[in-house]
A and B are shown apart, each in its own frame.
Chain A
Amino acid sequence: EPEVTQTPSHQVTQMGQEVILRCVPISNHLYFYWYRQILGQKVEFLVSFYNNEISEKSEIFDDQFSVERPDGSNFTLKIRSTKLEDSAMYFCASTTGAEKLFFGSGTQLSVL
């Protein structure tokens, strides 16, 4: 089965630093998402991306966050100035637009 690939699997950073989380969605998919899950809490929607623009974003996705699809295959999430509370597992997901959402295995972000 095709996979969504995320790198790195674990990222450790200092508070205030910029991080970029990378994702390679499945090649024929059109809709891309970032979700996050703080340890012990629910999976939370951050942002959806379609046709090279953000289609929906949550309250969590403030000015510190941005997404890009720089080259037609990668889909990145940038956090400009990380805070302690950004520590979480970040999941990328993609879909053709049909019902099934394919998730990557996640990037565990630890902000120290």
Chain B
Amino acid sequence: RKEVEQDPGPFNVPEGATVAFNCTYSNSASQSFFWYRQDCRKEPKLLMSVYSSGNEDGRFTAQLNRASQYISLLIRDSKLSDSATYLCVVKGFQKLVFGTGTRLLVSP
């Protein structure tokens, strides 16, 4: 089983749509969880950390279910600029383990 598993997509949505991404992880000892965003041929950039209580940052909502080892990201009111690859990331002792990413394409 992969350490971090994501649907690669692509997810094609119109502007203004709501889209949800899911991710599962295999290591129950994982300590911290994140969503990163990666634009084509660029470095990953932290979008938000993910907490069990759920957390929101503007149009973005992240949720963690430790029992199911499941992480989600919800994007509301999608913008063209949201088009990117969204990486589910899990932190063990020190290193980050990345999923393959889910590609999002927002069209006019």
Binding site for B on A (CB under 8 A): 31, 33, 35, 41-45, 48, 50, 55-56, 89, 91, 99-101, 103-106, 108
Q: CA separation between A88 and B41, bound complex, in Å? A: 11
Q: CA separation between A105 and B93, bound complex, in Å? A: 24
Q: CA separation between A49 and B10, bound complex, in Å? A: 35
Query: Which B residues between 83 and 103 are near A, CB-CB below 8 angstroms?
Result: 87, 91, 93-101
A-B contact pairs, 20 of them (CB 8 A): A31-B94, A35-B98, A42-B98, A42-B101, A43-B98, A44-B98, A45-B96, A45-B98, A48-B95, A89-B41, A91-B43, A99-B32, A99-B91, A100-B46, A101-B96, A103-B43, A104-B43, A105-B42, A106-B42, A108-B41
11 more A-B residue pairs beyond the given contacts A41-B100, A42-B98, A103-B45, with a C-beta to C-beta distance below 8 A: A43-B87, A45-B96, A45-B97, A48-B94, A56-B94, A89-B41, A99-B49, A100-B46, A101-B46, A103-B44, A106-B42
Q: Which residues of chain B are near A103, meaning CB under 8 Å?
A: 43-45
Chain B, interface size category, equals 20 to 34
Establish whether residues B46 and A42, one from each chain, have CB atoms under 8 Å apart when the complex forms. no
* Contact for A105 among B43, B91, B94, CB less than 8 A: B43
Q: Which residues of chain A are near B38, meaning CB under 8 Å?
A: 43
Q: List the A residue with the shortest CB-CB distance to B99.
A: A42
Q: List the B residue with the shortest CB-CB distance to A47.
A: B95
Establish whether residues B101 and A56, one from each chain, have CB atoms under 8 Å apart when the complex forms. no
A33 and B44 in contact, given A43-B87, A99-B32 (Cβ under 8 angstroms): no
Establish whether residues B87 and A56, one from each chain, have CB atoms under 8 Å apart when the complex forms. no
B107 to chain A, nearest CB (A): 22
A56 and B46 in contact, given A42-B98, A42-B99 (Cβ under 8 angstroms): no
Q: List the B residue with the shortest CB-CB distance to A103.
A: B43
Q: Which residues of chain B are near A106, meaning CB under 8 Å?
A: 42-43
Q: Which residues of chain B are near A44, meaning CB under 8 Å?
A: 98
